């Protein structure tokens, strides 16, 4: 099968997969009794009863459930996803999502950089020192990484490096926010570190980097464990070099990007997608 035939085939199948997922999500959201009215996301406390009835009519809430699906799909495709809660001043969900997206991208890139910078060397060292102390230490780190919930690990990082370090009078890391110097530079990309670099404001850039350390580490901790184990397994399968007799040549010839095993690339791609979809940063 040619590559373009494979791509077209997968794209056609993707349409049916997305359609099935949309039906499942809709019926899970609308098809079961709930204490929250489905139109609550589209109304505000200041609306009158007549305005609320108009909202129900526009979005099809007065129609049978199977008809509501088509109204719901129309709203989804038009980006009309309702309004956020009080915490976002009732702004449209799409506006809130896209305004926070640059922060999420920056956080994901930082987490990926930590994953590669730590996971790759950890896997290489583990392969070079197979069944020795460094390999056992790497296994413990990897096992701890992908068996620890990221939300719990993130809370522990905040507790130690923000709360206790501050309590002990030590230099501490920020526990929340994207920067402690809001408004110090112009909004260009929406990514504080990149905006600081563009503006040439070193102090702002360093402050934004400090705010990235804890959340990026929390996200990366799980993925670097997976990456380390896959790198180790991939390198041990390479038979053309003996790591014991010539470790330098082994690292130079096997570790570079051009020789990465497909499993490593898949792991990194999946990690990047998980970082984007699994975190909303602000």
Q: Is the pTM of this model over 0.85?
A: no
Picking from 28, 14, 12, the residue whose alpha carbon sits closest to that of residue 72 is 28
- Can you give the pLDDT at residue 238? 64
The pLDDT assigned to 198 comes to: 87
| Predicted pLDDT of residue 69 | 92
The whole-number pLDDT of residue 139 equals 83
Q: In Å, how far are 49, 74, 153, 177, 191 from 104, measured between CA atoms?
A: 38, 27, 19, 12, 9
Predicted pLDDT of residue 246: 53
Q: Tokens in use for 22?
A: 């949309």
- 265 touches 214 (CB < 8 A): no
Q: Can you give the three-state secondary structure of 33-66, one letter per residue? A: CCCCCHHHHHCCCCCCHHHHHHHHHHCCCCCCHH
Task: Give, for all 282 residues of the chain, the pLDDT tens digit.
Answer: 677 788 888 889 999 999 999 999 898 888 777 777 788 778 877 888 888 888 888 888 888 888 999 998 998 888 887 777 666 676 788 888 888 888 888 888 898 899 888 888 888 888 888 888 888 888 888 888 878 888 888 889 999 999 999 899 888 888 887 777 777 788 788 888 888 888 888 888 888 888 889 988 988 888 888 888 888 887 777 644 454 555 555 554 544 444 455 677 777 777 777 777 766 555
């Amino acid at each position: 099968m040619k590559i373009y035939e494979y791509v077209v085939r997968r794209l056609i199948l993707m349409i049916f997969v997305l359609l099935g997922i949309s039906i499942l999500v809709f019926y899970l959201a609308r098809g079961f009794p709930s204490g929250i009215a489905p139109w609550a996301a589209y109304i505000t406390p200041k609306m009158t009863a007549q305005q609320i009835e108009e909202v129900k009519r526009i979005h099809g809430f007065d129609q049978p459930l199977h008809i509501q699906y088509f109204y719901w799909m129309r709203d989804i495709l038009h980006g009309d996803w309702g309004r956020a809660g009080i915490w976002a001043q009732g702004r449209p969900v799409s506006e809130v999502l896209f305004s926070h997206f640059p922060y999420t991208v920056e956080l994901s890139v930082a987490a990926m950089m930590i994953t590669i910078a730590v996971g790759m060397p950890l896997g290489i060292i583990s392969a070079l020192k197979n069944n020795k102390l460094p390999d056992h230490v790497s296994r413990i780190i990897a096992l701890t990484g992908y068996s620890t919930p990221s939300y719990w690990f993130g809370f522990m990082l905040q507790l130690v490096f923000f709360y206790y370090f501050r309590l002990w009078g030590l230099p501490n890391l920020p526990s929340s926010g994207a920067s402690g110097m809001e408004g110090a530079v112009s909004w260009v990309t929406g990514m504080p570190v990149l905006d600081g670099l563009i503006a040439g404001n070193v102090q702002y850039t360093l402050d934004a980097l400090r705010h990235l350390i804890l959340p990026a580490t929390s996200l990366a901790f799980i993925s670097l464990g997976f990456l380390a184990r896959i790198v180790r397994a991939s390198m041990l399968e390479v038979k053309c070099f003996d790591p014991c007799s010539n470790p330098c040549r082994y690292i130079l010839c096997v570790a570079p990007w051009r020789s990465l095993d497909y499993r490593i690339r898949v792991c990194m791609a999946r990690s990047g997608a998980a970082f984007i979809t699994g975190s909303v940063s602000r």
